[in-house]
Amino acid sequence: MTSAGTPAHSPAPDPAPVHYLSTLSFSDAWLDRLRERVPGLEITQITAEKAADVPDEVWRRTRVLHTGGVFPGPGQAPALEWIQLDTSGADHLKGTPAWELPVPITSIGGISPVPMAEYVMMMVLGLAHRLPRAVAIQRSGVWPSLSERWNTLMPRSLRGATLGVIGYGRIGQEIGRLARAHHMDVLGLKRGKAARSGAFFGAAARDEADAEIYTPDRLHDFLARCDYLVVTCPLTDETAGMVDAAALAALKEGAMVVNVARGGIVDEEALLRALRSGHVAGAALDVFDEEPLGADSPWWTEPGVLLTPHVAGFAPDYEEQVLRLVGENIERHLAGSDLLNLVDRGRGY
């Protein structure tokens, strides 16, 4: 183990065929292209929801596992050498036997920054232009008076407004680029200066010098300047509950909140109270503490809120980019080279 708690990577111990198991549902054409890229790769695809959906014999032969959330039990996959997640985060592995396995874990981080940044700016523009109110008017079927339109649909100007991003990594930097195109001031909050290695698809990494960077110990100073708060950070022990009642109270009066990270980072009850008091003027939420969101959740009908069902990270060219990343990582694994998007168990992502 390394000092960060991440297993050191080593090449495959023998020349036997590498058995790659996917618990996802890729097309035959996708699998054929992976075979072409890595000749000799032995591929098994089983669309699975739990470990029991995979026969024990397959688990025993698996050396590379590509999955979103299906992991072998203790001792079930003795030949396993590496886990490739089909998720950007690794929070769902914490506390599971898979997290303790002495094998590297990699993510697909870097595939979604462009669509996620576009989603965030769509929501920022939607909140600025009173989209929740406009949707409510459409559903009512009643054309409002000029006075009502003037008083309830007047947009906010983005020019000169301050957008703060909690988690100023690959996604945050792409959001910052788009925000600056609207002449917004950009703040980023991140843990440190250290860059994280990994694949980045669809956009070049941005220069942090274009944003004013804060560290978590200055969270409330950061929040006090935000007209728009965007949450993109991973869910870890450090970020769980980070945007709590005190943090929301520290926000500039009338700020808007956009959460595309994970449920558990923003205190939902505190946010609901802040919206109803008027301290927070609106919110766009793509993630929740419990998913699917229950039919009786107040978020479905809360005024001033735009809601989507965890779709901000959907990438239109997902399969092509995953093929590039997985193919590259398998080649690196066979060569004993560093893997892309290696999860740091010490950091939790």
- For 259-275, what is each residue's pLDDT tens digit? 999 999 999 999 999 99
Q: Show which residues are catalytic.
A: 262, 291, 310
CB 161 within 8 A of CB 228: yes
Count Cβ atoms below 10 Å from residue 193 Cβ, excluding itself: 8
Percent of the chain past pLDDT 70, that is, above it, reads 91
Residues 312-327 have a mean pLDDT of 94
Q: For residue 307, which phi and psi values (nearest 5 degrees)? A: -130, 135
pLDDT at 56: 97
* Residue 50 CB coordination number (10 Å): 10
The residue that leads in pLDDT, 112 or 208, is 112
Closest listed residue to residue 68, CA positions, set 24, 27, 99? 24
List, for residues 166-217, the tens digit of each pLDDT value. Answer: 999 999 999 999 999 999 999 999 987 555 545 445 444 455 568 999 999 9
What are the respective helix, strand and coil percentages of the chain, to the nearest 5? Answer: 35, 15, 50
Mean pLDDT of the chain: 92
DSSP SS3 for 88: coil
Which pair of structure tokens corresponds to residue 146? 């000029």
The residues that bridge with 305 in the sheet, in sequence order, are 283
Q: What is the pLDDT of residue 4?
A: 45
pLDDT in tens, 271-306: 999 999 999 999 999 999 999 999 999 999 999 999
For residues 112 and 244, the answer to whether their CB atoms sit within 8 Å is no
In the chain, % of residues over pLDDT 90? 85
**Which residues have C-beta within 8 Å of that of residue 330, sequence separation ≥ 6?**
18, 20, 34, 37, 38, 41, 64
Rounded to two decimals, the pTM is: 0.88
Per-residue confidence (pLDDT) for residue 17, from 0 to 100: 80
Whether cis (ω within 30° of 0) applies to the bond prior to 72 is no
Tell me what pLDDT residue 124 has. 98
Give the burial class of 127: count Cβ atoms within 10 A of its Cβ; 0-12 exposed, 13-18 middle, 19 or more buried: buried
14 by Cβ neighbours in 10 Å (0-12 / 13-18 / 19+) ranks as exposed
Which pLDDT does position 203 carry in this prediction? 46
In this prediction, residue 12 has a pLDDT band, given cuts at 50, 70 and 90, of very low
